[in-house]
Copies of this chain bind each other. A is one copy, B any other.
Amino acid sequence: MFELNLKTHKKTEFIEITDSLQELVQKSMVKEGHLFVYTQHTTAAILSNENANGGAIWKDIGEALEKIAPQEKEYHHDDGNAHSHIKGALIGNSKTFFIHQGQIVLGTWEGIYLAEFDGPRQNRRILVKITESQ
């Protein structure tokens, strides 16, 4: 099991971790298999989407989630971060990818991201498992 640690800077932020994950795949020596990415925070999430175009799509994704769960709204959960938990529940904190010829299989403009929904935080921990399989 590998670990990545990230500092986040804003309330809502999407930080690309594709390169860090690819380094772990190299380190693991696995050529064909699976990459499992999990973050043990319920106000953060893991997802993949477009990593081109200056990141404009991530503003749109953030705004769509904000429309579903606005920060400025009364919730039952009164820690002030109910909106972050709802966003985390919708996106999910664990995702599975494939490894082929030692590379993470991704679309041409696809990157893997940590979604921060309750930042800034000193340390968001991401756990990674890499397994071999044909």
Binding site for B on A (CB under 8 A): 1, 32, 34, 36, 38, 40-42, 47-50, 53, 56-57, 59-61, 64, 67-69, 75-79, 82, 85-86, 88-98, 100, 105-107, 109-110, 127, 129, 131, 133-134
Contact = CB atoms under 8 A, between A and B. Distances in A.
B32 A56 contact: no
15 contacts: A34-B36, A38-B98, A40-B107, A40-B110, A42-B109, A49-B89, A50-B77, A57-B76, A60-B69, A60-B76, A60-B77, A64-B68, A94-B95, A131-B133, A131-B134
A78 B56 contact: yes
**Residues of A contacting B: mostly:** mixed
Contacts of A42: 48-50, 107, 109-110
Contacts of A92: 47, 92, 95
Given A34-B36, A105-B38, A64 B91 contact: no
A118 to B, nearest CB: 11
